[in-house]
Structure 1
Amino acid sequence: MVTGGRARAWLELVRGPAALTVPGDTLAGAAAAGGVPRRDAALALGSSVCLYWAGMALNDWADRAEDARDRPHRPIPSGRIHPAAAFGAAAGLTAAGLALAGAANRAQLATATALAATVWAYDLGLKHTPAGPVAMGAARGLDLLMGSAAGGRVPRAALPPAALLAAHTTAVTHVSRHEVDGGSRAAPLAALATTAGVAAAVARPGADAGTAQGCAAGYLLTAAPALARAARHPTGDHTKQGVIDGLAALVPLQAGLAARAGARRSVPVLLTLLAATRRLSRKVTPT
């Protein structure tokens, strides 16, 4: 029987609140493809969530020695989850993610394979190198492309939104490198500049510009205030909040990308997810 405490430990391990930002990748990708079969979209979403959870579990397994020093409350160093169980979960979830993608079509499986390889490379080698934030950004971009591949191919129209999502994620990942001790003004300032540029790209004139512009404003209002505070006062707590709000900002960004592609009905769904992400983040940290 899984106790409440054990369930919470696993929720912390896989970053439960942050996982709520994953469905928007699939929805934005499907919108960029001009709509995809519902079955394949559902398989893409399931694959995406599995690979995200796998990456989070593998991250904590790879960082268990570092976390024992800097984050002893995390599930592995606190003894609530055994390292072998975390690694087994990462491997099993990766296999499940690839199987779900393969059940859809070859393009989706190929994109999922590239995503899984990027996740494992990041966690096991690239994380502490200059390439780490770029790899994390690439993973988010690939996740959107997997949603677009639910139609049987990756359309060219999906590349610009994937690039915007990757740019935001890369910037926030740079900030996250300082969330334990703080001290960096450059990273949150760079993230602020990136956020402004991404918002401008989403809000530019085009299809359903009104909805997209509203989402772009929501994206800025979600990410910018905490990043600005982290830039002014780069303490560990302010920096961590900048990362948390930067993750939450993925949802209105995804909504704006979906709106620009004509999928206006996705917007209220994603904004509901944003509210759920914020509520859960008050109980379980997403970083």
Structure 2
Amino acid sequence: MARPARLRRPPPGGVVNARGSGRRRAWAELLRVSALCTVPGDVLAGAAAAGRAPGRRGALAAGASVCLYEAGMALNDWADRDVDAAERPHRPLPSGRVTPGAALAAATGLTVAGLGLAAAAGRPALVTAGALAGTVWAYDLRLKNTPAGPLAMAGARALDLLLGATATAPAVRDARHAVRRALPSAALLGAHTLAVTAVSRHEERGGTALPPLAALATTAAVSRALAGRPARPEGLRSSATAGLCIAYGATAARPYVHAALNPSPHLTRRAVGGGIRAMIPLQAALAARAGAPTLGLPLLALLPIARRLSRKVSPT
């Protein structure tokens, strides 16, 4: 009597793997992984502005920064799930690829993880991370569609840079001094973020050239502030700052000009993506200007990675 045929497992690349790949892509879209390259530089620029090496505490702060950023991404889609169902039904929540409960749980868990990492970096870092987490949740749940929305987003990025400054300070008194030293850098990063957020408000409908023009003017002002008055102008530091300012302006300006000339939704979204990626050379320039060109220059290597990832997963 012949043996019955044995059941075969699905081959690699079959239905099981396809479903797993689909889930991974859905979470990658929800968390905007292509924008992650813009996050660690906040902490590194903050540490440089405070005049300290990142070290172990800086690494913990960078981990906290990534967790809180991703918490904001998940919470953003959870809060916007009804609007996305009408305007962007392809997004993970309205398309059913990620459930609202899972997105909210991810946002909560990532927030707790971020605060835990910040606590391990010390009390000043925890206080700053707490303010950052509060700003992120307030923006996503209340402020996003109000006039205060862009200011809240700018404040979140500025706090993220200050997290790097406070985490590397050995004591509370030192943290206060670190914040004072890092405030100019935080203000420049916040100004850039404010401009990008103002443009992003029109990425679904387009229709106006004023936000990209204002963002272009902001980019010029930030570049001038960086290159025109370096904190330590000698040698490599000055040259690195000038070169990174050019990279920053080139990354942000071109898509802003295109969106101003033709404020269509497509070009407006590209302008937002360019503004997000421009944070990388901006962070590098801030670090170089503060006297850490060897910290700033390697950050620039993240820019082509961010570009490649954005072709697969939108950063907006």
TM range (shorter): over 0.9
* Alpha-carbon distance between aligned partners in 1 of 2:288 and 2:221, rounded to the nearest angstrom: 18
Distance apart, 1:230 and its partner CA: 0.5
Question: Which residue is equivalent to 1:54?
Answer: 71
Q: Is the 8 A contact 1:230 1:242 kept in 2?
A: yes
Amino acid aligned to 1:273: L
* Alpha-carbon distance between aligned partners in 2 of 1:205 and 1:182, rounded to the nearest angstrom: 36
Distance apart, 1:41 and its partner CA: 0.4
1:201-248 residue CA offsets vs partner (Å, 9 max, x unmatched): 111243222111111110010000110111111000010000000000
Question: Which residue is equivalent to 2:93?
Answer: 76
Q: Is the 8 A contact 2:286 2:296 kept in 1?
A: no
Q: Is the 8 A contact 1:36 1:150 kept in 2?
A: no
Q: Structure 2 matches for 1:133-172, cutoff 5 A?
A: 133-152=150-169, 153-154=175-176, 155=178, 156-172=180-196
Amino acid aligned to 2:74: A
Q: Are 1:259 and 2:283 matched, yes or no?
A: no
Amino acid aligned to 2:276: L
Residue in structure 2 matching 1:118, options 135, 145, 169: 135
Look at both structures and tell me which one has the larger radius of gyration over its CA atoms: 2
Q: Are 1:230 and 2:247 matched, yes or no?
A: no
Change in 2 beyond 3 A, CA 1:37/1:225: closer
1:106-143 residue CA offsets vs partner (Å, 9 max, x unmatched): 11000000000000000000000000001000000000
Distance apart, 1:36 and its partner CA: 3.8
Distance apart, 1:263 and its partner CA: 1.0
The alignment yields a C-alpha RMSD, in angstroms, of: 1.1
Question: Which residue is equivalent to 1:8?
Answer: 25
| Aligned length, in residue pairs | 287
Distance apart, 1:184 and its partner CA: 1.4
Where does the alignment leave 5 or more consecutive residues of structure 1 unmatched? none
TM-score normalised by L of structure 2 = 0.89
Structure 1 outlier segments of 4+, above 6 Å: none
* Alpha-carbon distance between aligned partners in 2 of 1:168 and 1:136, rounded to the nearest angstrom: 10
Q: Is the 8 A contact 1:101 1:109 kept in 2?
A: yes
Q: Structure 2 matches for 1:5-44, cutoff 5 A?
A: 5-36=22-53, 38-44=55-61
Query: Percent identity over the alignment?
Result: 59
1:160-213 residue CA offsets vs partner (Å, 9 max, x unmatched): 000000000010000000001101111111100101000111112432221111
Q: Is the 8 A contact 2:206 2:263 kept in 1?
A: yes
Q: Are 1:279 and 2:304 matched, yes or no?
A: no
Question: Which residue is equivalent to 1:270?
Answer: 299
Q: Is the 8 A contact 1:202 1:256 kept in 2?
A: yes
* Alpha-carbon distance between aligned partners in 2 of 1:78 and 1:108, rounded to the nearest angstrom: 38
Deviates more, 1:265-274 or 1:177-186: 265-274
Deviates more, 1:261-270 or 1:8-17: 261-270
TM-score normalised by L of structure 1 = 0.98
* Alpha-carbon distance between aligned partners in 1 of 2:81 and 2:218, rounded to the nearest angstrom: 31
* Alpha-carbon distance between aligned partners in 1 of 2:54 and 2:30, rounded to the nearest angstrom: 32
* Alpha-carbon distance between aligned partners in 1 of 2:99 and 2:87, rounded to the nearest angstrom: 18
Q: Is the 8 A contact 2:38 2:280 kept in 1?
A: yes
Distance apart, 1:271 and its partner CA: 1.1
Q: Is the 8 A contact 1:36 1:148 kept in 2?
A: no
Question: Which residue is equivalent to 1:102?
Answer: 119
Where does the alignment leave 5 or more consecutive residues of structure 2 unmatched? 1-15, 170-174
* Alpha-carbon distance between aligned partners in 2 of 1:136 and 1:171, rounded to the nearest angstrom: 10
